[in-house]
Amino acid sequence: MTDQQRLFVDAYVGEARGNATQAARVAGYAEPNKSGWRVRNEPDVKAEIERRLTKSAMSADEVLWRVSAVARASMADAFRAQTVHSYSLPILDFTTLFETGLIHAVKTIKQGKYGPEIQLQDGVAALKLLMQYHGLLKPNEDNADEDALSILRRALGIAPDNGSNQPTGDGTPPVELETPLTGTGTVD
């Protein structure tokens, strides 16, 4: 492989994010629009790109671990209490964020008027992905307007908690179920 091809590969798997024309531009090819696709498909270049992508790809276990971390993430895990003049104040604990892996669940951290503001990744979306993985939710099911608790109740066969004592789908009366989701629900 030439030095220019190495630059192309570096750009392709890096800053160009898989855009062959942009990678050719970064690598200094005279006509990136024409060169990008051609260089990308040269056997040595193609093999090196595949090798690097395979090396850097997440395993299925790591993907599940990260999605699970997002689904389980709690703002409480990001803070510790510190006493200042007899007041207990929440202090953002970056060490804990990194040590526990919770940093992967953080979407943004910015300085707000009263201190750091943290926004976590969408835990409901992560929960839906995990439910699909475990077969509790169909991948193409239209549930965009449904909250996670309702989706989970439906997937597990738990009747909605609407305060009524309606029979379940098979005509049998519902059974009260203590659940950590919100308290009392019903199940067939």
Residues 98-144 have pLDDT tens digits of 777 788 888 888 888 877 788 888 888 888 888 888 877 776 665 55
The answer to whether the pTM exceeds 0.85 is no
pLDDT of residue 142: 56
Q: Are 13 and 52 in contact (CB under 8 A)?
A: yes
Confidence of residue 173 (pLDDT cuts 50, 70, 90): very low
Residue 122's pLDDT is: 86
Residues 23/8, Cβ–Cβ less than 8 Å:
yes
Which of 1.10.287.3510, 1.10.10.1400, 1.10.580.10, 1.25.40.10 is the CATH number of 3-56? 1.10.10.1400
The single-letter code of the amino acid at 152 is L
CA distance 106 to 122: 9
- Please tell me the number of Cα atoms within 13 Å of 45 on its side-chain side: 25
Give the DSSP H/E element, type plus range, for residue 80: strand 79-84
pLDDT at 165 over 50: no
Residue 86, pLDDT > 50, answer: yes
Q: Residue 155: which pLDDT band, with cuts at 50, 70 and 90?
A: low
162: tokens are 């609407």
Query: What gap in Å lies between CA 49 and CA 40, rounded to an integer?
Result: 8
Percentage with pLDDT > 90 across the chain: 23
Q: Say if residue 100 is exposed, middle or buried (CB neighbours under 10 Å; 0-12, 13-18, 19+).
A: middle
CA–CA dist 171, 163 (Å, integer): 17
Q: Please count the other Cβ atoms lying within 10 Å of the Cβ belonging to residue 140.
A: 6
The domain locations on the chain are 3-56, 74-120, 157-188
pLDDT band for position 46 (cuts 50, 70, 90) = very high
Higher pLDDT, 92 or 164: 92
Task: Tell me the mean pLDDT in the region 25-38.
Answer: 93
